[in-house]
Chains A and B, each alone.
Chain A
Amino acid sequence: MKPPPFEYHAPRSVAEAMEVLAAAGPEGKVLAGGQSLIPLLNMRLAAPGHLVDVNRLTGLDTVEVEPGGVRVGALARHARVERSAGAAAAQPLLRQALRLVAHPVIRNRGTVVGSLVHADPAAELPAVLALLGGSVRLARPGAVRDVPAAGFFTGPLESAAEPGELALSAFFPALGPRCGTAFHEVARRHGDYALAGVAALVRLDDGLRVTTARAVCVSAGPVPVVVDVTGHACADGWAAAARDVAKRVEPEDDIHASAAYRRHLTGVLAERALREAAASAAGDVGTRR
């Protein structure tokens, strides 16, 4: 369990990092928190020719609350975002999700942007970005682009980030008025990747009627699965909405759980998450589990 040979780069500026990455092309891999990449290297499941360690770059460990949302820099660790009061106030789902990400030791090192680029469909943060309709800012020498979440996650462990591109930041839209969020999951052990997990976003009008109800499911398919259940929620209530969510996922059997159980769990968790999000939107915080 030692990595295969690679060339190690530790650029001192974003410009230098982009140059090195551009030169490395498909052989380049960015090392930020390393919580997924290092095990992949040690198990020789990944063998990039060039490892570009961005940890010495300055100005990327930022959590900025902007009027429309929260912008998280490429070197902001999970723990830092989790503890940011401003981020939690602007978009509570960030903290709700980050508490479910692995363990404190991993959150101390792993980065939010790294988790997004890694694009694991079992991970919480890609689901959050997808549910909120956020975006990821990618850069290469002379070009910066923002890729919306809907187009960013392209497959299991595959994102729209192209060889030679460096992810600079991610943007999570703020929670609107009369909106609520919740994240529920079931894992085999505390901190494990969830067997099933559902985050929900509910928006109400002034008469407390549901105007938007969306859920996103983790471990439910090749990419985070966003389901709009606004119609169901209005017509038949949360239980029916949750049943709809459960129907829309495509879980698979694995050594930890059957697909049928994951689908069942998704339904149970969707109802919990939607109800809690709605209660939160209505200003009733007493119903949190």
Chain B
Amino acid sequence: MTTRLFGEPVPRREDPRLLTGRGRYLDDLGAGALEAAFVRSPHAHARILDIDVSAAIEVEGLVAIYTWEDLPEEVGAPLPLLIPHPALTHGRTARPLARDVVRHVGEPVVMVVARDRYLAEDACALIRVDYEPAEAVVGVETATRSARLVHDDVPGNVGAHLVQEVPSAAGLGAREAIDAAPHTLSFRLDIERSASMPLEGRGVYARWDADDRSLRIYSSTQTSTSVRMAVAARLGLPLTKVEVIAPDVGGGFGVKIVHPWPEEVLVPWAAMLLGREVKWTEDRREHFVSSAHERAQVQHVRVGFDDAGRVLGLDVTILHDHGAYTPYGIIVPIITATQLPGPYRIGAYRVEFSSVYTNTVQVTPYRGAGRPQAAFCMERTMDRIAAHLGLDRTAVREANFIQPDEFPYDQGLTFQDGRPLIYDSGDYPESLRMLKELIGWDSFGELRARAAAEGRRLGIGLGCYVEGTGVGPYEGGHVQITSDGRVHVSTGLTSQGQGHETAFAQIAAAELGVPLERVSVVTGDTRRFGYAVGTFASRAAVMSGNAIALACRRVREKALRIAADALEADPGDLEIVDGEVRVAGTPGVAVPLATVAVLANPLRYAFDAEAARATQFAGTPSPDRPPVAEGEEPGLEGRDYYSPVRSTFASGMHAAIVETDPLTAEIRVLRYAVVHDCGNLVNPMIVEGQIHGGVAQGVGGALYERMVYDEHGQLLNASFMDFLMPYVTEVPRIETAHLRTPSPLNPLGIKGAGEAGVIPVSAVIASAVEDAEGIRIDRMPISPSELFDLRRAAG
């Protein structure tokens, strides 16, 4: 029974706690702590002339005010550029507090610590900062053309430039292949900015123990282990004296993988300096202007193809808006460039991107991380080819698919992890067949005609993608069975609502043959596990899931070895069922894992009944051997790591039927279908939840969300009133089907699923709106007002 836990739709064990207000988020902690607030730049680009804090000093309850000049060298230095790349020739990062120049609205300038947040904000309001404003650089095309510079020492505002080219089998370059092709098209595509927008913003709470000289930090982060290393380095503390804990985290979606944030350095530093607990909880306005955005790109596409729609050559030039800084390197445009070919065999491919600085909030990965832009580009291209040739859109895709017998398939590119981009498994023709059946692609014409007879306008669209998931370098798992029979699982990566308490417990319960209720899971706590990378890039299930499975196998092996001694049986004859080690086929000959755990520790004080009972199995230790034999350790526990040779590639195909109102131009998604392949499923209910959430964010990116900057670099919609995230009323019901092509790369055969839902949605909706309207859709998101304008332009 227990072994069937893997793959079962077990209800999420964390949900009763999270859904009834018993979650313990950052702001639920540190009730008595001092609170920090920040004076942030109101200008997109300006020089700081003077900071006058004299009026603020009068605020009752004020504890401290810090400007850059107050920071020690290591604290005030520019924050790390986490992922350098040879093509990132002009990487730039911000200082925790601005020194002399601010480069986007929202950049922190002054930190205030007070008795509570109200007083801290009162003091902020009284601090006068004199700025000499400079002209702002907004928009990638302005940035490349303008003489104005975001960073004085970055000519042309270009931080990075990278070309990757994969010639055709015949050795033709993409441009030659396009020139030689029977048909060519060229066009431009635009995608606007959006952002992760977790329900809980960022937050840091630090406690300094002056006697122990140790620091405990709680951070709403996607990587507690790396925050720990970064803060220890900045503050000059031994790593062993810093603990970082990610409590319940109300969503991350990428923005919380960036580290250390200025506040993650400053708040612990202030806590040490003041000898007081200090907390900072980001508010929504801060999140809009002081964290990170993503998505914005302009793409120029040239494609050559034959009469069947087969792509002979594809040449894409991308202008990527990186905002003011590049703390996370150029991961986003690299992913766009390398994931663009999707499930297709492209004759010859050339991709070039320029990553450009603007006086806007920095750009770092947001769920999908460059892939929605890639899918938008590739899928719009497929639709254009179909329209040009008068072919069905699915036929063009079929003509280009990599076939099931071609795996492993080498796209010839270098992926985000610096390793070759080789697809491990998949079945794209079957995925499309399933999608067409699920959405009713072939019978849509009748549906459209019936609607048209009622004066309604329908359209159908689709989009495909391949997603590299489970990037390395590693994750680890630790599993301990204690003498009460409980199984304690820990892994270093963090949780932001993914359901790890359930999914990881399912893996452990299945591997160990114990009931799920006996398994508990701890994530993101450096006291329990010190080595980890983090939860991003659809990697948690693949990385920690496999690491936990491997750790469980070590524990299982040890348990069988010990039980074999106790039962005087051969380990090969033993099985673990319902938490008992049994001799297979011999009822009644069994020992509970609780007892095995006691036996695993030669120290047998009879603390509990289990320990007392265990002594009867202990036998007589050989007086000539040490109680803990060579090569053994006391206790029934195991630790192991999973480190993949390269990423595993999940895939999916989405289709939608939309209705556009002929009069009001409102766009409504009537049906949304998803066929998803993430290999073996640990918990199909959790996977579907991930898809639902991803599609919801995709609908936001396609129809609602954008960051509206004016030419002065002011963000005009920095609130939930004007930045439109879809409500549940705007998200369609999502129909899903699963295809399973297990990954050959990892023991569990799984692929990542966290980002899947969001990736092709803009491409799918654009395809469907275009189909409904007969008007080309080249930029997303699209609003009713814009559709109205497009209709008028089309006459």
User: Which A residues contact B (CB, under 8 angstroms)?
Assistant: 1-5, 39, 43-44, 186, 188-192, 195, 255-258, 260-261, 264-265, 268
For B774-795 the 0/1 string (1 means CB < 8 A from A) is: 0000000001110011000000
A43-B285 CB under 8 A given contacts A5-B122, A264-B788? yes
A4-B122 CB under 8 A given contacts A257-B784, A261-B784? yes
Taking CB atoms and an 8 Å cut-off, the chain B residues in 103-158 that contact chain A are 117-118, 121-122, 125
A2-B118 CB under 8 A given contacts A255-B708, A255-B717, A255-B722? yes
* Residue B641, interface by CB 8 Å: no
Contact of B664 among A43, A44, A186, A258 (CB under 8 A): A186
* Residue B607, interface by CB 8 Å: no
Contact of A256 among B727, B729, B730, B783 (CB under 8 A): B783
Tell me which residues across on chain B come within 8 A of A186, comparing CB atoms.
Answer: 664, 666, 784
List 6 A-B residue pairs with CB atoms under 8 Å apart, sorted by A's residue number.
Answer: A44-B125, A186-B784, A260-B789, A261-B665, A268-B663, A268-B664
Apart from A43-B719, A257-B783, A261-B665, what are 16 other A-B pairs with CB-CB below 8 Å? A3-B118, A4-B122, A186-B666, A189-B724, A190-B727, A191-B727, A255-B716, A255-B717, A256-B722, A256-B783, A257-B784, A258-B785, A258-B788, A261-B784, A261-B785, A264-B788
In the bound complex, CA of A109 to CA of B724 (Å): 23
* Residue B726, interface by CB 8 Å: yes
Q: Which 4 A-B pairs have the closest CB atoms?
A: A190-B729, A257-B785, A1-B283, A261-B785
In the bound complex, CA of A3 to CA of B116 (Å): 12
Tell me which residues across on chain A come within 8 A of B785, comparing CB atoms.
Answer: 195, 256-258, 261
Tell me which residues across on chain B come within 8 A of A192, comparing CB atoms.
Answer: 724
In the bound complex, CA of A81 to CA of B719 (Å): 29
CB distance from A77 to the nearest CB of B (A): 21
CB distance from A181 to the nearest CB of B (A): 21
Tell me which residues across on chain A come within 8 A of B717, comparing CB atoms.
Answer: 255
Q: Does more than half of chain A's interface fall in helix, strand or loop, or is it mixed?
A: loop
Nearest A residue to B730, CB-CB: A189
For B434-469 the 0/1 string (1 means CB < 8 A from A) is: 000000000000000000000000000000000000
Taking CB atoms and an 8 Å cut-off, the chain B residues in 500-527 that contact chain A are none
Nearest A residue to B116, CB-CB: A2
In the bound complex, CA of A3 to CA of B665 (Å): 40
CB distance from A180 to the nearest CB of B (A): 22
- CB distance B704 to A188 under 8 Å? yes
Tell me which residues across on chain B come within 8 A of A261, comparing CB atoms.
Answer: 665, 784-785, 788-789
Taking CB atoms and an 8 Å cut-off, the chain B residues in 642-681 that contact chain A are 663-666
In the bound complex, CA of A257 to CA of B787 (Å): 10
Tell me which residues across on chain A come within 8 A of B664, comparing CB atoms.
Answer: 186, 265, 268
Tell me which residues across on chain A come within 8 A of B663, comparing CB atoms.
Answer: 268
Nearest B residue to A5, CB-CB: B122
Tell me which residues across on chain B come within 8 A of A44, comparing CB atoms.
Answer: 121, 125
- CB distance A188 to B724 under 8 Å? yes
CB distance from A214 to the nearest CB of B (A): 22
Query: Which of B664, B719, B783 gathers most chain A CB within 10 Å?
Result: B664
* Residue B561, interface by CB 8 Å: no
CB distance from B744 to the nearest CB of A (A): 44
Our count of residue pairs bridging A and B at CB distance below 8 angstroms stands at 64
A188-B783 CB under 8 A given contacts A1-B285, A264-B788, A268-B663? yes
CB distance from A263 to the nearest CB of B (A): 11
- CB distance A2 to B788 under 8 Å? no
Contact of B726 among A189, A255, A258 (CB under 8 A): A189
CB distance from A50 to the nearest CB of B (A): 17
Tell me which residues across on chain A come within 8 A of B789, comparing CB atoms.
Answer: 258, 260-261
Interface size on B, residues (CB 8 A): 29
A2-B117 CB under 8 A given contacts A192-B724, A257-B785? yes
* Residue B284, interface by CB 8 Å: yes
Tell me which residues across on chain A come within 8 A of B704, comparing CB atoms.
Answer: 188-189
Nearest B residue to A271, CB-CB: B663
In the bound complex, CA of A61 to CA of B514 (Å): 59
In the bound complex, CA of A1 to CA of B283 (Å): 6
Nearest B residue to A184, CB-CB: B664
In the bound complex, CA of A105 to CA of B716 (Å): 26
In the bound complex, CA of A187 to CA of B315 (Å): 40
CB distance from A49 to the nearest CB of B (A): 14
Tell me which residues across on chain A come within 8 A of B666, comparing CB atoms.
Answer: 186
In the bound complex, CA of A189 to CA of B784 (Å): 11
- CB distance A4 to B788 under 8 Å? no
For B592-619 the 0/1 string (1 means CB < 8 A from A) is: 0000000000000000000000000000
- CB distance B284 to A1 under 8 Å? yes
Tell me which residues across on chain B come within 8 A of A43, comparing CB atoms.
Answer: 285, 719
In the bound complex, CA of A195 to CA of B283 (Å): 28
Nearest B residue to A269, CB-CB: B664
- CB distance A2 to B784 under 8 Å? no
Tell me which residues across on chain B come within 8 A of A258, comparing CB atoms.
Answer: 785, 788-789
In the bound complex, CA of A1 to CA of B721 (Å): 15
In the bound complex, CA of A2 to CA of B120 (Å): 9
CB distance from A104 to the nearest CB of B (A): 12
Nearest B residue to A42, CB-CB: B283
Query: Which of B663, B719, B721 gathers most chain A CB within 10 Å?
Result: B663
- CB distance A4 to B125 under 8 Å? yes
In the bound complex, CA of A53 to CA of B704 (Å): 36
Tell me which residues across on chain B come within 8 A of A191, comparing CB atoms.
Answer: 727, 729
Tell me which residues across on chain B come within 8 A of A2, comparing CB atoms.
Answer: 117-118, 121
Nearest B residue to A255, CB-CB: B708
Taking CB atoms and an 8 Å cut-off, the chain B residues in 689-726 that contact chain A are 704, 708, 716-717, 719, 721-722, 724, 726
Taking CB atoms and an 8 Å cut-off, the chain B residues in 257-297 that contact chain A are 283-285
Tell me which residues across on chain B come within 8 A of A4, comparing CB atoms.
Answer: 121-122, 125
CB distance from A232 to the nearest CB of B (A): 20
Tell me which residues across on chain B come within 8 A of A268, comparing CB atoms.
Answer: 663-664
In the bound complex, CA of A170 to CA of B676 (Å): 56
Tell me which residues across on chain A come within 8 A of B730, comparing CB atoms.
Answer: 189-190
Tell me which residues across on chain B come within 8 A of A255, comparing CB atoms.
Answer: 708, 716-717, 722
Tell me which residues across on chain A come within 8 A of B118, comparing CB atoms.
Answer: 2-3, 5
Nearest B residue to A196, CB-CB: B664
Tell me which residues across on chain B come within 8 A of A264, comparing CB atoms.
Answer: 788
Tell me which residues across on chain B come within 8 A of A190, comparing CB atoms.
Answer: 727, 729-730
In the bound complex, CA of A39 to CA of B730 (Å): 24
Tell me which residues across on chain A come within 8 A of B722, comparing CB atoms.
Answer: 255-256
Nearest A residue to B703, CB-CB: A188
Nearest A residue to B285, CB-CB: A1
Nearest A residue to B282, CB-CB: A1
CB distance from B576 to the nearest CB of A (A): 50
Nearest B residue to A44, CB-CB: B125
Nearest A residue to B722, CB-CB: A255
Nearest A residue to B718, CB-CB: A43
In the bound complex, CA of A18 to CA of B717 (Å): 37
